[in-house]
Structure 1
Amino acid sequence: MTVIIAVAVGANGVIGRENQMPWPRTGDMRQFKALTLGHPVIMGRSTYESIGKPLPGRTSIVLTRQADWDPGHDDVVVAANFGEALVRAYAVNPDVFIIGGAAVYSEARARDLVDVMVVTHVPLSPDGDAFFEPIQASHWTEVDRAAHFGTPNYEIATYVRA
């Protein structure tokens, strides 16, 4: 199993504000879709609710502690913890993407579950209430970086566990 984080991060570490992206769409959503299509995606309940529906062409697995929570769609998998989410994801595809939010990213990294991170670096420093922990060079090796042009311009970098 390969566990991959996909995240867009501002220069100040911000990834969200009030359950929304804190900058205009950069164009990285095309890359995100191409990267995750056909794979299971694990996200927290708030992230799922901000999207509002399952992502097409992917198995949406939502982490929540609310035992009676209803996603409103039959094809959404609800999991109470990371162990359950990973087992259910692996049954679909051995490449599993974690797509947010901040607490889910933090827990996955703290538990050493993550093998790869695909990070969209957005050169803005917006106000926010959700942050991505800094990438420590002693734990991660950057293996790829590509510049993309949009409004704003951005870079997508891939990191593997050192």
Structure 2
Amino acid sequence: MTQHGTPSDPEHRRLARITLVAAVGTNGVIGRDGGLPWPPTGDLKQFKALTTGHVLVMGRKTYDSIGRPLPDRTSVVVTRRTGWKGPDGVVASNDVDGALDLAAQLGGEVFVIGGEQIYAQTLDQADRMVLTLVDAAPDGDAWFPDVDWTQWREADAVPYDGYRIVTYERV
């Protein structure tokens, strides 16, 4: 377990592609009561295929909602809790910039997987977004940040029953 909080080093992040991955309702909701506001969709298989072998960056509450390290991935957890420790394969950072630096140093693509504050703090640095757009507008207490869509183009979209998975690339 490593506690990381050194100043940001943008050179490292330029070498790693940053992708935001989220499931979003039509009203922008991404969460409720520490979990998803809808039953799991088939996008979990896509999530596994997309992120296996890479580094995940997430907030502590997102990590807690998952409840364990995800296999074949390193998790960098952003937390303000001093001394927070996770199991093997999980490292902590006390801020988002430190987490992105650490993730880039670990190698490969960086996948930001939530929650609300982490998405908001990484959106401007992201190169790509893979969004599961759920055909529902549930009540919630966590939202995906507002996106300036002039900075993004749709690169791919795959429809499913009740949702579609859309990949956006920064223009």
Global fold match (TM > 0.5) = yes
Q: TM-score, normalised by structure 1?
A: 0.92
Map 1:143-162 onto structure 2 (within 5 A).
Answer: 143-149=155-161, 153-162=162-171
1:140 aligns with 2:152: yes
Aligned to 2:99: 85
The 1-side partners of 2:52 and 2:85 are apart by 24
CA distance in 1, matches of 2:97, 2:148: 25
SS of 1:138 mapped into structure 2: helix
Match of 2:163, as an amino acid? Y
Aligned residue pairs, count: 156
Q: Counterpart of 1:114 in structure 2: which amino acid?
A: A
Give the AA of the match of 2:129.
M
Q: CA deviation at 1:136?
A: 2.8
The amino acid that maps onto 1:97 is: F
Please report the TM-score for the alignment, with normalisation by the length of structure 2.
0.87
| Superposition pairs of residues 43-122 of structure 1, within 5 angstroms | 43-71=58-86, 73-109=87-123, 112-122=124-134
Shift of 1:75: 2.3
Distance 1:91 1:134 in 2: 29
Separation in 1, partners of 2:127, 2:108: 12
Percent identical residues: 47
CA distance in 2: counterparts of 1:102 and 1:21, whole angstroms: 12
The match for 2:17 is 2
Q: The residue matched to 1:15 in structure 2 has which SS? A: strand
Structure 2: 5+ residue stretches without partners: 1-15
Shift of 1:135: 3.2
Shift of 1:91: 2.5
Q: For 1:140, give the aligned amino acid.
A: W
SS in 2 for 1:84: helix
| CA-atom RMSD in angstroms | 1.1
Q: Give, in whole Å, the separation in 2 of the partners of 1:68 and 1:118.
A: 32
1:22 corresponds in structure 2 to 37
Say which structure is richer in helix.
2
**Contact in 1 for aligned 2:73/2:89 (Cα 8 Å):** no
Runs of 4+ aligned structure 1 residues displaced above 4 Å come to: none
User: Structure 2: how far apart are the matches of 1:107 and 1:89?
Assistant: 15
